[in-house]
């Protein structure tokens, strides 16, 4: 193992380390002298608490009565386990398959919930504000999805278009920020580690008057990354026709730096509230395609993305039990025009953007035995689709430099390509949901939503319904059904790029029309909790139809007509060709032995089958079995620990995978730890977070290992070795 402390981040790292060591010395000197120390207790359970949640129904209710399986991760759990970003959280949850180092262009990290692949299929919110790009591109899971200002994270499983509309497909993750409770409050955290990593955030809250509040949060992360070409220098793969090939060309420099930051601003006065979230990520575009690009990953082969989200909310009481809520919202999403990935003889610049303005009007009615929520919403979206160029983009509304002007098919048809321009469209939705109690034990819920848009001229009707039966206090049984959809986005409808003898073009060039992707799910959930014990069991079946694959159809032996001549090529287009059936079980349990030991356990089984062009095979990128286990506890008044392990069985690949040919990538076992020294000085804590404690070399599925193409990328992606962050936090 090599620990790289060179580079421009050495100073901040040493500074944070010295601060931490100094704090330890002062803390040991002050130990026993503090008159009154807080008595820290671990959470009574792991992440299955009967906490109040808002995500499942858009109103506050206990988790046990929510019309969905919802897991809760509190801010205390985040600190106890040393989570730094959203990926850290979800890889410890049942029902998720996680694949890191895919590249920013493809989503940063693949986050797959219950076998439904695609970072555009899991809706991520912050206080209900959508963070996914409105143009349908993948949400990039990087360190810009930070956790420093959160009260809790609510993870909702299952289709939810009935209440949230398009893209609430596999499930929802809602990041809930801390409420402003004190007149003045501030938090500061900074840490540093190997790979020249630095992470820090600041949170300031205030209540200027009795009827107002202010919440300011800023976070930044920087890392130069590990030299995977050096760490995995002895690893090879076999490529048909090329024989034994190295993963990376060690004669070239390998760089995977990441620079992320995010800001959150919230303020309110009486019934009026403003919220804004800004996300920035700068990541390598695709570190899984070095031999295809003809060079090892360079720091300039990267993508930079910015997303601005804002919302203005007004709440008005109409009657005693009737309230109207008006939300004006917007989003600005940009890919930097200089983002690019390299090819053998040229650079590919990539660009996309979208803007959204919308309005939602909602009515909430409470009556003695239940609640009814209904409303309507509309959005105006303007988007420039994902495009590729040999030179940097300008910021105009029409792209004139795409090299292919016309396509000549094998049967002699002449098809025009482009022009690529900005597209404007509207989306409309209307929804209603009712929760009703029949006595103390039984409640039912039902809801539906109708959506229509002017872009694809598709409409979609999505219901959800279910029964919640309280067996006895602390023991609940739920039966739930739901449906969801994703409308074909600008990303799939207009994405275009071209290589020398291969291209991706819009399906409309060849007269093909994309239909919405659809999923339906039925789930049975059982939960029981006491003061010391918690058990949560969910079993489910889901079926996705009309799934859109970027390389869903191949058109061979066409001529690409450019300004300089013609070239023979194969063209891939997006198409509705996928069907996926998933069934499985998720189990979570926790038991508190004492203040010093709380044990937690999670297990997931999934059988995922994909059907494509008449062939059926195991769902790529999926492990059938996953186990999570850990211990958390407090020793004395100044020390807490968390040790957790994750094991997953072999990862299925696609039959076209160039190494595994539809078999499996070996499974992995990982061990992480988090140690904290509490209240070294009043309000000052220190923390050491370690990942991959055993320094294991392992792989996850790459971009193309689940896509039935010609295997143009690596069949597997090497992962990071042992890493650590050490730092301090202070509450003022």
Q: How far apart are CA 135 and CA 107, in angstroms?
A: 14
- pLDDT higher at 28 or 110: 110
pLDDT value, residue 657 = 63
Q: How far apart are CA 150 and CA 161, in angstroms?
A: 25
Q: What is the pLDDT of residues 74-84, one digit of tens each?
A: 999 999 999 99
Q: Enter the CATH code of domain 10-420+432-731.
A: 2.40.170.20
Which tokens sit at 653?
């690949």
**Cβ atoms of 582 and 604 closer than 8 Å:** no
Q: What is the pLDDT of residues 379-426, one digit of tens each?
A: 999 998 888 887 787 766 677 778 888 999 988 899 998 788 888 999
The region of weakest confidence among 102-106, 439-443, 554-558 is 102-106
Q: What is the pLDDT of residues 605-651, one digit of tens each?
A: 999 998 877 778 888 889 999 999 999 999 988 999 999 999 999 99
pLDDT value, residue 713 = 55
Residue 291 has pLDDT above 90, yes or no: no
What percent of the chain is predicted at pLDDT more than 70? 87
Q: What is the pLDDT of residues 459-473, one digit of tens each?
A: 999 999 999 999 998
pLDDT value, residue 288 = 66
What percent of the chain is predicted at pLDDT more than 90? 57
Q: Tell which residue, 38, 29, 32, has the closest CA to residue 634.
A: 38
Most confident segment among 94-103, 185-194, 524-533: 185-194
Residue 579 has pLDDT above 80, yes or no: yes
Average pLDDT rounded to a whole number, residues 8-31:
41
pLDDT value, residue 155 = 95
Average pLDDT rounded to a whole number, residues 339-367:
88
Place of tokens 């062939």: 615
**Cβ atoms of 141 and 124 closer than 8 Å:** no
Q: What is the pTM of this model?
A: 0.90
**Cβ atoms of 399 and 352 closer than 8 Å:** no
Place of tokens 């996914």: 132
**Cβ atoms of 721 and 64 closer than 8 Å:** no
Q: How far apart are CA 485 and CA 510, in angstroms?
A: 25
pLDDT value, residue 210 = 87
- pLDDT higher at 603 or 15: 603
Q: What is the pLDDT of residues 293-325, one digit of tens each?
A: 556 677 788 899 999 999 999 999 998 899 999
Most confident segment among 186-190, 395-399, 664-668: 186-190
Residue 709 has pLDDT above 50, yes or no: no
């Amino acid at each position: 193992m090599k620990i790289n402390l060179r580079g421009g981040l050495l100073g901040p790292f040493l500074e944070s380390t010295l601060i931490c060591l100094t704090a330890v010395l002062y803390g040991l000197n002050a130990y026993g002298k503090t008159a009154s120390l807080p008595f820290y207790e671990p959470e009574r359970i792991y992440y299955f608490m009967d906490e109040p949640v808002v995500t499942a129904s858009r109103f506050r209710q206990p988790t046990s009565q929510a019309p969905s399986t919802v897991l809760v991760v509190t801010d205390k759990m985040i600190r106890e386990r040393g989570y730094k970003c959203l990926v850290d959280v979800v890889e410890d949850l049942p029902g998720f398959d996680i694949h890191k180092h895919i590249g920013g262009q493809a989503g940063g990290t693949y986050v797959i919930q219950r076998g439904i692949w695609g970072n555009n299929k899991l809706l991520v919110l912050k206080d209900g504000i959508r963070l996914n790009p409105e143009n349908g591109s993948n949400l990039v899971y990087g360190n810009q999805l930070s956790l420093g200002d959160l009260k809790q994270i609510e993870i909702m499983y299952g289709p939810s278009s009935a209440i949230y509309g398009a893209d609430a497909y596999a499930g929802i993750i809602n990041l809930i920020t801390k409420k402003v409770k004190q007149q003045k409050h501030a938090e500061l955290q900074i840490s540093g580690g190997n790979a020249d990593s630095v992470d820090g955030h600041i949170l300031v809250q205030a209540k200027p008057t009795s009827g107002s509040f202010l919440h300011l949060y800023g976070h930044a992360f920087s890392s130069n990354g590990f030299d995977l070409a050096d760490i995995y220098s002895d690893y090879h793969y076999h490529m048909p026709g090329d024989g034994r090939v190295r993963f990376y060309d060690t004669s070239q420099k390998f760089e995977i730096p990441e620079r992320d930051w995010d800001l959150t601003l919230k303020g309110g006065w009486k019934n009026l509230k403003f919220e804004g979230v800004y996300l920035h990520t700068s990541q390598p575009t695709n570190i899984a395609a070095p031999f295809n690009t003809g060079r090892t990953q360079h720091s300039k082969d990267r993508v930079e993305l910015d997303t601005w989200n804002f919302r203005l909310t007004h709440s008005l009481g109409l009657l005693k039990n009737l309230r109207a809520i008006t939300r004006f919202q917007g989003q600005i999403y940009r890919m930097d025009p200089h983002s690019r990935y390299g090819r053998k003889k040229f650079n590919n610049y990539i660009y996309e953007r979208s803007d959204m303005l919308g309005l939602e009007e909602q009515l909430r009615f409470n009556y003695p035995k239940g609640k009814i929520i209904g409303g309507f919403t509309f959005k105006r979206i303007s988007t420039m689709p994902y495009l590729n160029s040999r030179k940097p983009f300008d910021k105009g509304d029409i792209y004139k430099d795409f090299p292919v002007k016309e396509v000549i098919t094998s049967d002699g048809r002449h098809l025009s390509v482009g022009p690529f321009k900005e597209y404007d469209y509207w989306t409309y939705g209307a929804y209603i949901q009712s929760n009703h109690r029949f006595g103390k034990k039984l409640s039912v819920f039902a809801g539906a939503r109708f959506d229509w848009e002017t872009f694809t001229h598709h409409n979609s009707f999505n219901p959800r319904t279910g029964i919640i039966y309280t067996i006895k206090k602390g023991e609940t049984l739920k039966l739930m059904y739901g449906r969801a959809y994703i409308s074909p986005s600008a990303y799939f409808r207009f994405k275009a790029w071209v290589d020398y003898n291969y291209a991706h073009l819009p399906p409309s060039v060849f007269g093909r029309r994309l239909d919405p992707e659809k999923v339906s799910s039925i789930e049975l959930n059982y939960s029981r909790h006491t003061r010391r014990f918690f058990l949560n069991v969910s079993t489910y079946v889901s079926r996705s139809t009309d799934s859109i694959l970027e390389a869903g159809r191949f058109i061979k032996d066409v001529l690409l007509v450019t300004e300089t001549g013609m070239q023979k090529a194969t063209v891939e287009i997006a198409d509705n060709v996928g069907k996926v059936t998933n069934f499985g079980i998720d189990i979570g349990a926790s038991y508190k032995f004492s203040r010093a030991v709380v044990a937690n356990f999670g297990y997931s089984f999934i059988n995922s089958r994909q059907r494509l062009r008449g062939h059926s095979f195991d769902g790529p990128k999926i492990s059938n079995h996953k186990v999570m286990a850990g211990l958390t506890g407090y020793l004395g008044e100044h020390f807490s620990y968390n040790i957790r392990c994750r094991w997953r069985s072999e990862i299925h690949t696609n039959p076209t995978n160039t190494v595994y040919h539809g078999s499996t990538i070996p499974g992995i076992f990982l061990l992480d730890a988090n140690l904290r020294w509490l209240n070294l000085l009043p309000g000052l804590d220190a923390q050491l977070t370690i990942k991959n404690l055993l320094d294991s070399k392992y792989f996850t599925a790459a971009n193309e290992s689940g896509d039935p193409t010609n295997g143009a990328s690596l069949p597997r992606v090497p992962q990071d070795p042992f890493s650590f962050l050490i730092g301090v936090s202070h509450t003022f």
